[in-house]
Structure 1
Amino acid sequence: MMPAFFIAHGAPLLAIETNEYTQFLQRLGQTLPRPKAIILFSAHWESTVQKISDVKQYRTIYDFGGFPEALYQIEYPAQGDHQTVKEIQEAFEEQHVSYEIEKNRGLDHGAWVVLRLLYPDADIPVIAMSVNPHLAPEEQYKIGQSLSKLREKGLLIIGSGGTVHNLGAVKMAGNDGNIDEWALRFDEWLARCLTNWDVESLFHYSRLAPAADLAVPPYGKEHFIPIFYAMGAADNEPKAQLMHRSYRYGNLSHSVWQFG
């Protein structure tokens, strides 16, 4: 049984940095059982209908601007896997989840920054998945839940985003190690709910969580919601463990949660 993960992808700069968080992700990739394939829900692929990538080999998408040239030289030529796509389709059809197949899109930085740290050789097949920020959290959870049995087949399910991700509040010019108190309060509330598998509170985070309007602004909730897809994928083994949490730029969280 493979676990499911929520993994923060932070700023694109993580791809060329060496720090506490990048070193943690590298160790995590070395210690996990080798997955048959990876199913990854990325905050940077939004769609009103659930999309499933079915490609032979991914191109690398540089969906950002104004960063060092070295970032634009990185490639992550992961392969797809048609058999895994078929298994996802069967799982969705069994649970009446509507979907569409995408045959052209590459991997955005929400996917390849994380994958390159975990599996730098790009030698594990990847199935990229979209997220829908317009769905209720319960529905996002149910999409993940429909894939829960695939973990028994050696498939690693990842939601890539960020628990606190407010680009209007980050302090890119200063990184003095100080953490905004509101970001800590939100993440600590989230940790209590996740550890207790309190899905009812989580589904109403926008009303119940302290500083939710700052941690998950309306224009940025696509970064938070991958946690529901990942958590739902472990609904058949409801355990949550905080594996890592650190911050950059005052409040940008680098959280890794393991489910299952």
Structure 2
Amino acid sequence: MIPSFFFAHGAPLLAIEKNEYTEFLNQLGQNLPRPKAIVLFSAHWEAPVQRVSKVDQYSTIYDFGGFDPALYTIQYPAKGNHEVSQEITDLFAKSGVSFNIETKRGLDHGAWVVLRLLYPNADIPVIAMSVNPLLTPMEQYKIGKALSVLRANDMMIIGSGGTVHNLRALKWADNGQVDQWALEFDNWLAHHLNTWDVESLFNYHSLAPSSEVAVPPYGNEHFIPLFYAMGAADDQQEATLLHRSFRYGNLSHSVWQFGE
């Protein structure tokens, strides 16, 4: 059985930087089991109804602007897998999860930045998945839970986003200092993930310190992939923090493993 994971994808610059986090992801990719396929929920693909990719070959989407021109030359030519896409939609139908098939969309940077650091050869099939910020955390968790059987079939389920992600609060002149509010929120989150306290986690917005800054009202899309990945390991309910670091004062680079 392969664990599910939550990866912070940080700023797009991670794709060309060498730092503590990129080195960790490079090493982790070498140590992880090689999955049959990767099912990835990206913060950068929002949809009101769950979307499931069913493509032969992905294009690379540059869904950002104003960064180093080198970023716009990167390609991550991953392939899809129609059989796995069908297996996912069958599981959703069985669990009562509404869905639509997507046959054209490429991989956004929430997907390819992380995947390129983990598996640079782009030789593992990928099934891209949308997220829905309007659902409750419990509903997002249940979507992940519907796919938990895939882990026993050598597939890796990933949520890609960021536990602390507030672009308006970033300090681009990074001096290595971490804002106290970001640490307090992430520490609260870690405690309740480690104890699999879903009741508190589902109510993070009212219980967690500084939640309104860490997960701002104008956007929770980067936080919620955590619930999809967590739900995929509901059958084991074990959480392990593999890495945590911060950039730009408060942008979290965290990696959570769910299950074994």
TM-score under structure 1 normalisation? 0.99
Q: Which amino acid aligns with 2:101?
A: I
* Distance in structure 1 (CA, Å) of the matches to 2:87 and 2:161: 24
Aligned runs of 1:1-260 on 2, under 5 Å?
1-172=1-172, 174-260=173-259
Deviation, 1:203, is 0.2
* Distance in structure 1 (CA, Å) of the matches to 2:227 and 2:162: 12
* Distance in structure 1 (CA, Å) of the matches to 2:90 and 2:150: 11
**5+ residue gaps, structure 1:** none
* Distance in structure 1 (CA, Å) of the matches to 2:236 and 2:101: 28
Deviation, 1:220, is 2.3
* Distance in structure 2 (CA, Å) of the matches to 1:189 and 1:214: 14
Paired residue total: 259
* Distance in structure 2 (CA, Å) of the matches to 1:67 and 1:155: 33
* Distance in structure 2 (CA, Å) of the matches to 1:85 and 1:99: 11
Q: Which amino acid aligns with 2:253?
A: H
Deviation, 1:218, is 1.6
Deviation, 1:190, is 0.1
Deviation per residue, 1:132-174 (Å, 9 max, x gap):
00000000000000000110000000000000000000011x1
* Distance in structure 1 (CA, Å) of the matches to 2:151 and 2:91: 12
* Distance in structure 2 (CA, Å) of the matches to 1:103 and 1:166: 31
Range with greater deviation from structure 2 (86-95 or 201-210): 86-95
* Distance in structure 1 (CA, Å) of the matches to 2:52 and 2:89: 9
Aligned-pair Cα RMSD in Å: 0.4
* Distance in structure 1 (CA, Å) of the matches to 2:244 and 2:208: 18
Q: Which amino acid aligns with 1:41?
A: F
* Distance in structure 2 (CA, Å) of the matches to 1:28 and 1:110: 18
* Distance in structure 2 (CA, Å) of the matches to 1:3 and 1:27: 17
**5+ residue gaps, structure 2:** none
Q: Which amino acid aligns with 1:59?
A: S
* Distance in structure 1 (CA, Å) of the matches to 2:25 and 2:66: 25
| Percent identity (aligned) | 69
Deviation per residue, 1:197-246 (Å, 9 max, x gap):
00000000000000000000022200000000000000001000000000
Q: The residue matched to 2:117 in structure 1 has which SS?
A: helix
* Distance in structure 2 (CA, Å) of the matches to 1:36 and 1:11: 28
* Distance in structure 2 (CA, Å) of the matches to 1:231 and 1:219: 23
Deviation per residue, 1:50-80 (Å, 9 max, x gap):
0000010000000000001000000000000
Q: Which amino acid aligns with 1:110?
A: G
TM-score under structure 2 normalisation? 0.99
